[in-house]
Amino acid sequence: MKVKRGDIVLLSMPFAQGGGGKIRPAVVVQNDRNNARLTNTIVAAITRTVSRADLPTQLLIDPATPAGKSSGLLAVSAITCENLFTVGQNLIHRRIGRLSSDVMQKVSDCLRASLEIG
């Protein structure tokens, strides 16, 4: 499945120790040029654990807000930009939503904080 930056997708997220995975939401953070030409994409994990969402490396998404409505998420969640994965696009089950360009700018800020990029 071809994806675009800002898509919220459900995918088979691999366990950190290997040996399987779990269906989880994630946001595509790789640029669209590479999404079109490569079979892999880079995603940031999304979790319902929001206790650390005040960190500069995480972004709170509330589906009850106008910005969060289009995400397709069912619960208040955090995009964890310190938890990045490269996954085969064939592991993506479906797109459930999309983040606006304004929200993706905030994701980019979180990625810069996570990777310590000026």
Within a domain: 1: no
Which CATH number goes with the domain that contains 63? 2.30.30.110
Give the pLDDT confidence score for residue 13 in this predicted structure: 74
| Token duo for residue 86 | 């490269």
Residue pLDDT tens, the chain, 118 long: 899 999 999 998 767 677 777 899 999 999 999 999 999 999 999 999 999 999 999 999 999 999 899 999 999 999 999 999 999 999 999 999 999 999 999 999 999 999 999 7
Give the pLDDT confidence score for residue 14 in this predicted structure: 66
Within a domain: 2: no
Within a domain: 27: yes
Structural domain count, the chain: 1
Angle at 69 between CA 97 and CA 93, to 5 degrees: 20
Give the pLDDT confidence score for residue 118 in this predicted structure: 75
Q: What's the CA gap between 87 and 28, in Å, rounded?
A: 10
